[in-house]
A and B are shown apart, each in its own frame.
Chain A
Amino acid sequence: MKTRTIVSLSVLILLGVFLIMSILPLSNVLRPFGDPENSDMDDYIISNAQNDTGANNAVTSVVFDYRGFDTLGEATVLFTAVAGVILILRRYAHE
């Protein structure tokens, strides 16, 4: 085998061992799966979403009302991506 394949596979094996050793003991000892530590903000949002926004869906009220700035940034990223694709492929579209 070439040296490139040996080096890449050994790097991946070392990275895999590191990930196994770091995620599994930490996630089971400090905080088991299904029991979040700090949920005060989410408890407030679930309790008061129907009074403040008037919507039954808590996720939509978080996306559009409590955190509307992130949705504005995401709309800007989508707009920039479409503008970039049309700009790159303009000379092959007008044959």
Chain B
Amino acid sequence: MIYNIPYIAVMLLILVGLYAVIAKRNIIKIIMGISIIESGVNLFLVALGYREGGLAPIFTNLPEKTQIPGQLVLPVPQALTLTSIVIGVAVLALMLALAVQIYKHYKTLDVRSVRRLKE
């Protein structure tokens, strides 16, 4: 049970981020909660491709006497996580630009008072 610490950390990160999205009023704190959820998902994707006692899959100055496909960590989940991190940065930039636009129009950052589309 104690060896599943990466999965426990993923769960805690997703719960903390979800609490920040649901129960906070400031729009900047909601954006921070979305970024924390993305960090948890990237950690889950990398932790799926781990081998016990493995080395990085890079052949420059590898220590001698390592079995070549049997003792190296899988490289494909790392490549997919790289794409996911860059997409997270792109979405965060667009969210912050929209938050600046909301502030300049309504003069406040409270999400419960920016509902003029319903009136």
Contact = CB atoms under 8 A, between A and B. Distances in A.
The answer to A–B direct touch (Cβ < 8 A) is yes
A12 B7 CA distance: 18
A85 interface: yes
A5 interface: yes
A15 B52 contact: no
Contacts, number: 128
Contact of B79 (A24, A27, A63, A92): A63
B79 A15 contact: no
Contact of A34 (B51, B101, B104): B51
Interface residues of B, number: 47
Interface string A9-26: 101100110011001100
B48 A36 contact: yes
A52 interface: no
Contacts of B98: 88
Interface string B59-75: 11000000011001011
Tell me the dominant secondary structure on chain A's binding face.
Answer: helix
Interface of B: 1, 3-4, 6-8, 10-11, 14-15, 18-19, 22-23, 47-52, 57-60, 68-69, 72, 74-76, 78-80, 82-83, 86-87, 89-91, 93-94, 97-98, 100-101, 104
Interface of A: 4-5, 8-9, 11-12, 15-16, 19-20, 23-24, 27-28, 32-36, 39, 41-43, 45-47, 50, 56-59, 62-63, 67, 70-71, 73-74, 77-78, 80-82, 84-85, 88-89, 92
